[in-house]
């Protein structure tokens, strides 16, 4: 066991014993780790406020590789007060944390941490949560082994794109179009931008409601059909989107 400091985000917590918690933390340096926060549920504990889900901080821990580590202290980077103040945004955050937890368990690429943190920070900066969620979902498909082909026709390689097919996993040209997916030109252009954009560099999002809904519905069907993921908070989030 060694003492380390690492940037990370608490994805979820589980009560442990009478007054402690196990924190499921996605970290920049050590991936997804379990950390026990001893006595943190006590009102007098210095760890109480830094042992809650959705906390982004630098964690000082007694690190034990492959086993349960122990929290010493944490220096908060962001509490996400704006997100915590809105039930709809909490719904988005809950879904994103469950999604990235599942994705990381299938592919522990360090880039997943970067795109996740960039996404939640942009939501905290009051940018469109639906668009940012869809951008993250589009990028995560590669780590799940079912990435979309968004450069040319998935069948023949043509650059003359007229549609995207969820059945075939990418763009289609006129000759290969199979009547699945969508043909909205703005949505086709936008979903490709979702895949290639650097989330950390986004400062403005100006996308029509029709385009957003088209892409969101496509990704929802694609995830259900091809990722094998069951994320409990997805249904709750879908209900929130109606309001």
Cα within 13 Å of Cα(101), Cβ side: 22
Cα-based distances in Å from 49 to 38, 41, 42, 54, 143: 13, 9, 10, 11, 33
Query: What's the pLDDT score for residue 241?
Result: 78
With beta carbons less than 8 A apart as the criterion, state whether 68 and 211 touch. no
With beta carbons less than 8 A apart as the criterion, state whether 15 and 77 touch. no
For the residues of 55-107, what is the DSSP string, one character each? -EEEEEEEE-TTS-EEEEEEEEEE--HHHHT-HHHHHHHHHHHHHHHHHHHH-
The pTM score is 0.95
> What number of other Cβ atoms are within 10 A of residue 17's Cβ?
11
**Mean pLDDT for each consecutive 10-residue tract of the chain (243 residues)?**
94 96 98 97 96 98 95 98 96 97 95 98 98 98 97 96 95 92 94 97 96 96 94 88 74
With beta carbons less than 8 A apart as the criterion, state whether 8 and 28 touch. yes
Query: What's the pLDDT score for residue 240?
Result: 80
Query: What's the pLDDT score for residue 89?
Result: 97
Cα within 13 Å of Cα(45), Cβ side: 20
With beta carbons less than 8 A apart as the criterion, state whether 73 and 46 touch. yes
> How far is residue 99's CA from residue 69's CA, in Å, rounded to a whole number?
23
């Amino acid at each position: 066991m060694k003492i380390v400091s690492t940037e990370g985000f608490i994805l979820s917590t589980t009560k442990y014993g009478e007054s402690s918690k196990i924190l499921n933390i996605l970290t920049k340096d050590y991936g997804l780790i379990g950390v026990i926060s001893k006595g943190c549920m006590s009102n007098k504990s210095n760890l109480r406020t830094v042992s809650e889900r959705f906390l982004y901080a630098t964690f000082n821990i007694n690190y034990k590789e492959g086993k349960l580590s122990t929290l010493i202290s944490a220096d908060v980077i962001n509490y996400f007060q704006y997100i915590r103040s809105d039930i709809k945004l909490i719904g988005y955050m809950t879904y994103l944390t469950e999604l990235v937890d599942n994705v990381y368990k299938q592919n522990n690429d360090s880039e997943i941490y970067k795109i996740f943190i960039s996404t939640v920070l942009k939501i905290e900066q009051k940018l469109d949560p639906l668009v940012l969620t869809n951008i993250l979902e589009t990028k995560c498909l590669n780590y799940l082994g079912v990435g979309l082909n968004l450069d040319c026709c998935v069948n023949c390689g043509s650059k003359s794109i007229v549609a995207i097919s969820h059945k075939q996993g990418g763009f289609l040209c006129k000759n290969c179009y199979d009547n699945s997916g969508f043909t909205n030109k703005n949505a086709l252009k936008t979903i490709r931008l979702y895949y290639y954009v650097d989330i950390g560099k986004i400062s403005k999002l100006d996308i029509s409601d029709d385009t957003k809904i088209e892409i969101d519905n496509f990704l929802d069907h694609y995830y259900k059909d091809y990722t094998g993921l069951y994320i409990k908070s997805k249904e709750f989030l879908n209900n929130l989107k109606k309001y």
